[in-house]
Amino acid sequence: MEVCYQLPVLPLDRPVPKHVLSRRGAISFSSSSSLFGAPDPRQLSQRRGAISYDSSDQTALYIRMLGACVIFKQLFSRDVRVRSRVGFEPERRGSHPYLSIDFRILHSQPESAGPVSARKIRRLLSFQRYLHSSRACRGVTPQNPLHILDHDYTGQAKCMLEKVGSWNFDIFLFDRLTNGNSLINLTFHLFNLYGLTELFQLDMIKLRRFLVMVQEDYHRQNPYHNAVHAADVTQAMHCYLREPKLSKSLTSCDILLGILAAATHDLDHPGVNQPFLIKTNHYLAALYQNTSVLENHHWRSAVGLLRESGLFSHLPSEDRLDMERQLGSLILATDISRQNEYLSKFREHLDREDLCLANAGHRHFVLQMALKCADICNPCRPWELSKQWSEKVTEEFFHQGDIEKKHKLEVSPLCDSQMNSVGKIQIGFMTYVVEPLFAEWARFSDTRLSRTMLGYLGLNKASWSGLLQERAGAAEGTAATATAPTPADDTNSKVLPQGSKES
């Protein structure tokens, strides 16, 4: 027997339709009412939550909402209608058509309406996790159903974790073997491998809950900036933490922060870049004053999950705040627009040979550089892995470009599918961003791993150049065939048209 939600009743005893549900969780990219602008405040009721992760931070308006967040109420004559299947249709403001884009439906697929279950969602959920739960309650089959893995898959995943320090680690295979839970399983394994659970007296249930929330707050619809990318960066960070210079100098707190920063560095990424948010006047761009908008959001979202899970609730408040601050410093270092700033500082330290890993500030800076390397290390992976990442990030770029074209916006660099290709983008990225960074990292840590990464980088760059040349040659051949004169048009041809006097 099906039982429906007991829904609130509006004045005049007008019933609210079943699809008008109260939503709970974080208001961020994934849960904001619209990608560009929120609804009129009068449309929102019963909004409660923390103002920010730290009351002294005057710029963060709210990060994670605690409790019931939004009930959409729109009365039109006798009926209450919600004009969109995801909640409501954002109002158009001014003459800008892109203001009506709802980010939650950029990648979504049509769903059939189904019965609503009586089970209530009582946990504190972010919108991402609420959305998954509400779909399950309506009987909607998820795109990636969570089947129970058999022992063969579990055993293979465990065997892979035994070689988690290998640079050839195939994160795509590991994600399949763990049924899409690569970030949870890999990070949980690393916590135990480094003994962080015991050293910091972490509650295993809270740790698992935290990692589940982190993975669920990544958008699986994103071709590139998703939980698999976060797992890949975390695995690369583990490889760097094992390098001789770092393994002999880093403290357990440094290792904890490095792994946490890698796992959460792109948390709740929307699949579009910072210039896109700035030129569309997104509220987060204004919130962070157009400076490291995405990175600030990733950091605040991570802190929100840490507090929601209570992972460090047993630690003194001063220690918790210091860890949150250092976590933010690491995540903010991944801002690609500040690449030259960090690279110049790193190069100066290497030239002066004054990096002292006994100094806490220098250790933290090296961790920042390690995370930067881990974040863009895809071109330094074996070709089979690097090529997949290149195609995925280009797909995400082109998707943004398609949105910009659709809404008559200036197309961002690298996002125009008609002007760019995977090979061109990757060769430029390797030449101007990856090579300078990893050359300096090899100066700092001249090890077998560094030489391996530079070797793969050179091979992958040559492979993309070869593919471009092949395609260019094929295109020229096709053009030559199309413009070549036919035998009837060739005056020097010995073949004459049928019916001529000489035939």
Q: How far is the CA of 450 from the CAs of 169, 342, 381, 446, 453, in angstroms? A: 16, 19, 11, 6, 5
DSSP symbol at 446: -
Residues 391, 393, 399, 404: is their CA dihedral positive or negative? negative
The contacts of residue 285 (CB under 8 Å, 6+ apart) are 274, 277, 278, 293
Provide the residue type at 399 as one letter.
H
Looking at this protein, which amino acid is placed at residue 220? R
CA 96 to CA 90: how far, in whole Å?
13
| Vertex 165: Cα angle to 160 and 166 (nearest 5) | 75
| For helices 252-264 and 317-332, angle between their N-to-C axes, nearest 10 degrees | 50
Q: Which of 258, 224, 227, 228 is nearest to 241 (CA)?
A: 258
225 flagged as catalytic? yes
Q: Single out the catalytic residue among 219, 225, 229, 297.
A: 225
**Three-state secondary-structure class, residue 26:** strand
Pairing of strands 9-10, 14-15: antiparallel
Least Cα distance to 460 among 377, 369, 395, 394 occurs for: 377
Per DSSP, the three-state class of 380 is helix
Provide DSSP, 154-198: HHHHHHHHTTTT-TT--HHHHHHHTTT-HHHHHHHHHHHHTTHHH
- In angstroms, rounded to a whole number, what is the distance separating the alpha carbons of residues 318 and 321? 5
Tell me the C-alpha distance between 98 and 92, whole Å: 8
* Burial tier of 336 (Cβ tally within 10 Å: 0-12, 13-18, 19+): middle
Phi/psi at 199 (5° precision): -60, -40
Helices then strands (H, E): number in the chain? 19, 6
The C-alpha atoms of residue 385 and residue 397 are separated, in whole angstroms, by: 19
DSSP secondary structure, 241-275, as one string: HTSHHHHTT--HHHHHHHHHHHHHTTTT--SS-HH
Which residue numbers are catalytic? 225
